[in-house]
Amino acid sequence: MEKVIHDFYSDLFDIHVHLPPCHLPQDGYVVPSVLPSEIRHAISSVEKHRIRAEHLKDLPPTLANTLARLFTRYLSECKVPSQWKTSKTVLLYKKGDVHDIGNYRPICQMSVVYKLFIRVILNRFIRTMDEGQPCEQAGFRRRFSTVDHIHTIAKLTEVSREYKQPLCLTFIDLKKAFDSVETEAVFEALLTQGVPTQYIRVLRELYSGFTSKITPFYNDVVIDVKRGPRLRKRHARLEWEDMGVKADGRQLHHLRFTDDIVLITPSSGQAE
């Protein structure tokens, strides 16, 4: 079993598309110091299953000040504790054949302080990320949900039937999308969307040399995770501007919710 796990996840987390390193130019941005208020806000904004309440509940001011100073140093020096580059991974069964390793979801258990540091960074440019997303993407965005896309699809179906217009909806669910995304593509996407390069350098440092330990029975299985811990999926640019159907005066060719995509075309041939 240890060999099966090692081979499967080593291949999954390996680099299959060799992209050139994303060039991070000097943009002149000076990273501001982390404030204790950012620490407290990060604690309140992280989901309960990511940071347990008893770990950081009623954080004393002295500890908040200490974490703020440490996080400021990590951001300015682009250096993080080596302990943050190792994790324990737990395999959770999803569905299907219990003997198929692909039917288990790897859950990476990271340091609580690491999660807090990541949240502080994300809180600083989450608005930039949201503003850079197209209206077709409803995943990981405030005030967006699957309900928006369900309503759009229902309306398209209703109108196509009323006017007897052909409509083809192709639903795509990418396999292991977040586990297989190339990190350099993530950095390039962040740079394109206007995220200051110093934050991207820190994220690159977090990804560098990352390993995870899986303990199925008695022996540890150490995996070299070349992709690092997850952030977000790269937004691929496809040549489909002239495809799709007209909706409110614009061309609508797809809808996205994280890694779930529906192609909207007037025929199956165009979808192919």
The pLDDT tens digits of the residues spanning 235-271 come to 444 455 667 777 777 778 888 887 788 988 888 888 7
Which strand (E) or helix (H) includes residue 169? Answer: strand 168-173
Task: State residue 50's pLDDT score.
Answer: 56
Task: State residue 34's pLDDT score.
Answer: 96
Q: Is residue 153 part of a domain?
A: no
The answer to whether 207 and 80 have CB atoms below 8 angstroms apart is no
Helix, strand, coil percent values for the chain (each to nearest 5): 40, 15, 40
Which of 29-33, 51-55, 70-74 has maximum average pLDDT? 70-74
Q: Is residue 142 part of a domain?
A: no
Instruction: Quote the radius of gyration of the chain (alpha carbons, Å).
Output: 21
Q: Give the pLDDT confidence of 186-221 residue by residue, as tens digits.
A: 899 889 888 999 999 999 999 888 888 887 755 555
Q: Is residue 39 part of a domain?
A: yes
Nearest to 180 by CA among 245, 254, 233, 134: 233
Ranking 54-63, 136-145, 163-172, 212-221 by mean pLDDT, the lowest is 212-221
Q: How far is CA 261 from the centre of its chain?
A: 16
pTM strictly above 0.95: no
CA separation for the pair 244, 222 (Å, rounded): 46
The answer to whether 182 and 56 have CB atoms below 8 angstroms apart is no
Q: Is residue 68 part of a domain?
A: yes
CA separation for the pair 261, 199 (Å, rounded): 29
Q: Is residue 160 part of a domain?
A: no
DSSP 92: E
Residue with tokens 């340091």: 111
CA separation for the pair 10, 75 (Å, rounded): 30
Residue 231 has pLDDT above 70, yes or no: no
Q: Is residue 72 part of a domain?
A: yes
SS3 1: coil
Output the furthest CA–CA distance in the chain (Å, rounded): 68
- Residue type at 140 in one-letter notation: F
Q: Is residue 254 part of a domain?
A: no
The better pLDDT of the pair 9, 118 is held by 118
When divided into structural domains, the chain yields a total of: 1
Q: Is residue 35 part of a domain?
A: yes
For residues 78-93, one letter each, b for 16 or more C-beta atoms within 10 angstroms of the residue's C-beta and e for the rest, the string is bebeeebbebebebee
- Provide the domain limits for residue 81: 2-134+178-235
